[in-house]
Amino acid sequence: MRLFRKLTLLALIGFTIASTRCTKVNNEQSIPSYIEVEQFVLSTNSTEGTNSHNIVDAWIFVDDQLMGVFELPARVPTLRTGVQNIKIFPGIKNNGQSDNRVRYPFYTYYDSSIDLVPDSTVIINPEIGYISDIDIWEENFEDGGIAFSKTIVSDTNFVQDSSNPFEGSKSGIVRFASSDLFFESRTNEPLFNDFPKLGLPIYLELNYRSNTSFVFGLFNNDGSLPADAQISLFTFNPKPDWNKTYIKLSDAVSSLSTANQFDIYFSALNNGEAATPKIEFDNIKIVF
């Protein structure tokens, strides 16, 4: 009987120790480590133009498993520990829409092995650039000429302005005199005739501010038309402060299956939205 009691006591002690150890291990495994992303840092070279960006989200992967899409700045918990492969992709508001958020296809991404320690935070501010093998066209209004010409229906046009540029020494500005009713200005750029089809990505990047609405669109031709056809793609609302946006051209270009000539344009109507309409542009980029 005494022997049975001793064995029972030893068994209870062993079970208690084992339970305590299991609880300790489970508690340690339930303590998260954190990945904190404050902002992305975009670096560009002389052929890629401005490093201005509006990256708003981080798409975070741990060992190629998507943890989620997080608005910046973000502090993200994970129960993964030890050395893990971390990938962080930059995300934008597609066409400036808060409910249409995508990974921007022309930026590189962060990729590194990081040691994740429970109850500690790893701060990562990913340094990225543009991917290789892409075409980037930019009008930054710094040179002597402007790559836009007003159309025959336009009352006014772009001019260079150095009074308050977004960056550099100049920006482009459109002003309406009291008698001006319509603005429309377009490119004549052979590079745009190489726009890809089949849904391959094409984007406009733009810094702007404006006290009136304005339109961005495409001229196109398949070689058989006496004049270019015109399609509006996006209407910009007034913005009192400088804003950066990304507008997708891919679907429109791909739908014009027979077109082999393209140009871009901006237009605006003096419709009384502002007493003296003014639109400021900088770093107009086409990337494909």
* 3-state SS track over 65-134: EEEEEEECCEEEEECCCEEEEEEEEEEEEECCCCCCEEECCCECCEEEEEEECCCCEEECCCEECECCCC
Torsion sign across C-alpha atoms 46, 49, 51, 55? negative
| 156 and 276 belong to one structural domain | yes
pLDDT value of residue 30: 86
| 168 and 118 belong to one structural domain | no
CATH at residue 175: 2.60.120.260
| 81 and 142 belong to one structural domain | no
7: in domain:
no
pLDDT value of residue 73: 98
Q: Would you call 254 helix, strand, or coil by DSSP? A: helix
| 177 and 231 belong to one structural domain | yes
| 144 and 269 belong to one structural domain | yes
Q: Of 128, 161, 176, which residue constitutes the final position of a domain?
A: 128
Q: Are 189 and 146 in contact (CB under 8 A)?
A: no
| 118 and 146 belong to one structural domain | no
Bridge partners, residue 101, by sequence: 93
| 258 and 147 belong to one structural domain | yes
- Specify the DSSP class assigned to residue 18: H
Query: Measured between alpha carbons, how far is 96 from 242 in angstroms, rounded to an integer?
Result: 14
Q: Of 128, 158, 192, which residue constitutes the final position of a domain?
A: 128
165: in domain:
yes
| 141 and 240 belong to one structural domain | yes
Q: Are 146 and 158 in contact (CB under 8 A)?
A: yes
225: in domain:
yes
| 163 and 121 belong to one structural domain | no
| 54 and 153 belong to one structural domain | no
CATH at residue 48: 2.60.40
Along the 288 residues of the chain, how does pLDDT read in single tens digits?
Answer: 443 344 333 343 343 444 444 433 445 568 999 999 999 999 999 999 999 999 999 999 999 999 999 999 999 999 999 999 999 999 999 999 999 999 999 999 999 999 999 999 999 999 999 999 999 999 999 988 999 999 999 999 999 999 999 999 999 999 999 999 999 999 999 999 999 999 999 999 999 999 999 999 999 999 998 999 999 999 999 999 999 999 999 999 999 999 999 999 999 999 999 999 999 999 999 999
pLDDT value of residue 69: 98
pLDDT value of residue 11: 40
| 48 and 114 belong to one structural domain | yes
Straight-line distance from the first to the last Cα atom of the chain, in angstroms, rounded to the nearest whole number: 86
For the chain, what is the domain count?
2
200: in domain:
yes
pTM for the full predicted model: 0.88
Domain around 214: 136-287
Q: Of 69, 99, 128, which residue constitutes the final position of a domain?
A: 128
18: in domain:
no
